[in-house]
Amino acid sequence: MPKKEKYHFDITYDRKELKKHISAIAYREARRVTGPIYDVLITELLEDGLTYTAKHFQTEINTEDEYFRENVIRDRLMDQPTLLFDIYDKCRMAEKMALLPNYEGLHHTFNLLHQVILKLQTPQNLKYDWLLQDILQIVTKIGEKLGPKSRLSDQPLCYIYFSYAKILSDRFGKHKTSIKYYDMAMKLAVDRNWLAEVRYLKREGYSKLTQEVARMKAKSLLELSRLTMSTDMDRALSFNRKALLILSEGGRTANQADIIGTLLTSAEIYVEEKHYRLANKILEDVENELKFLAPSKYDPMMSLRLALSKAISLLNLSDEKQSMQYFLKALVLSRQLGRKEHEAKAMLNLGKLQELSNQKPWAKASFKKAIQFYSAVGDIQNYRRSTYVLADTMCHSLFPLILDLIKGSRQFCHRYILRRWKNQMQPFWFCGTMDKLYNSKDDLNCLVHENIVSEVGTALVEI
């Protein structure tokens, strides 16, 4: 059996001896223990002459108090002393380095501030994203003012600008401002082999920072294009061309997926503008690009957008057979991906194709499906458009029959009823009282009935 080790402890009760082994607590440490921690830290900063950091710390404390009081946040920074003191110490040292003569410590300043930002970007600290946004805003202003003073600060400043630009575009939708900071980051990163962590299609990896900045800037330009599409198509196309140029300069192979997305957006704009030949030409290029796209970068949404835009273009270029094939493909993909808005758009345009092919029952069914989908996704404009097209189709199918009935009638009142019905039908898409007309078993009897109020309600008469 192994021998048991014996331990010997010397126990003393001599107060003088005990005092020798107790280190006296510093005044600042004692103050941190006793006083409100935020007030103590502000006092320490002011005692050290770090007024800039003290001012911003006070601002963030006030912001946190307001957010906590209004239940915007649940966790306060003081609840995590380790994180609080880490941020405090780095910010404190950052200002001290910035105060050194001849900007000697400026690169240390931005390195420390970048470390604070990285700390707040970790998953466990995402609950303090409000603080991250404020710190990024403060640091970018410092960088714009002092950054050019030190070339050694280029790398941390580049990452700071890039992080701030992403927040502006992704969270706040301030794409114009984000493009400014993407440009500033690109200017610092050009000809440098700095890496950026990227996440694409749920895959993590690394790429050159310049490529990632270019990709994100192009994304902001495309978003600007989408936002201006309804008001200024020429400007939207201009944003698309800029995005395509940026991505092409960054390397066609590396940015092939984003180039395809940009081309698809351009084609969709041309479709909206009814330039179907131009749209079709771009979509042919997209089809060729997809053949050479790496499987790891493929997104099924590319095929869905391609099929839908191609179908609409071919429909308006009178190629009904090819258009039908692409519509069916778009429907299959939209159902697989659960994209109701794309399925609704496909149904609406498929109904138009079926109407042209004199398949009116099928067209009505497609329009009704489109109405259901647009209602589900809350797209009021397209909901009304689909309702209008459905009613227009039904009018065209019923009106000749009504005229045939009136031709054989010698009663003037029949013509009066028809005229009144036509006038009342004009604003039908603004009210929901036409369901009875659609669901009526005897459409002709319903439409030529003298007492139309009893069939569809008083709303139509009042319009």
pLDDT tens sequence across 199-214: 544 455 667 888 888 8
> Is residue 330 one of the residues assigned to a domain?
no
Determine the Cα–Cα distance for residues 95 and 109; give it in Å rounded to an integer. 7
| pTM greater than the 0.85 cutoff | no
Domain-ending residue, one of 293, 319, 346: 293
Determine the Cα–Cα distance for residues 205 and 197; give it in Å rounded to an integer. 6
| End-to-end Cα separation, the chain, in angstroms | 104
Task: Say which range, 49-63, 214-228, 437-451, has the weakest mean pLDDT.
Answer: 437-451
Whether residue 280 has pLDDT greater than 70: yes
The number of CA neighbours under 13 Å toward the Cβ of 296 is 9
Query: Do 235 and 159 fall into the same domain?
Result: no
Query: Do 105 and 152 fall into the same domain?
Result: yes
Query: Do 26 and 144 fall into the same domain?
Result: yes
- Nearest of 210, 278, 292 to residue 240 by alpha carbon: 278
Whether residue 82 has pLDDT greater than 60: yes
Query: Do 202 and 164 fall into the same domain?
Result: no
Determine the Cα–Cα distance for residues 243 and 255; give it in Å rounded to an integer. 11
Query: Do 198 and 119 fall into the same domain?
Result: no
**For the chain, how many structural domains are there in total?**
2
Greater pLDDT, 290 or 197:
290
Pull the structure tokens for residue 458. 């008083």
> Is residue 410 one of the residues assigned to a domain?
no
Determine the Cα–Cα distance for residues 331 and 394; give it in Å rounded to an integer. 24
Task: For residue 237, give its domain range.
Answer: 193-277+288-293
> Is residue 322 one of the residues assigned to a domain?
no
What is the number of other CB atoms lying within 10 angstroms of the CB of residue 376? 13
Query: Do 30 and 156 fall into the same domain?
Result: yes
For the packed helices 300-316 and 256-272, what is the interaxial angle rounded to 10 degrees? Answer: 30
What's residue 130's pLDDT? Answer: 94
One-letter amino acid for residue 142 of the chain: I
Query: Do 64 and 162 fall into the same domain?
Result: yes
- The answer to whether the CB of 269 falls within 8 A of the CB of 261 is no
Whether residue 91 has pLDDT greater than 60: yes
> Is residue 325 one of the residues assigned to a domain?
no
Query: Do 267 and 163 fall into the same domain?
Result: no
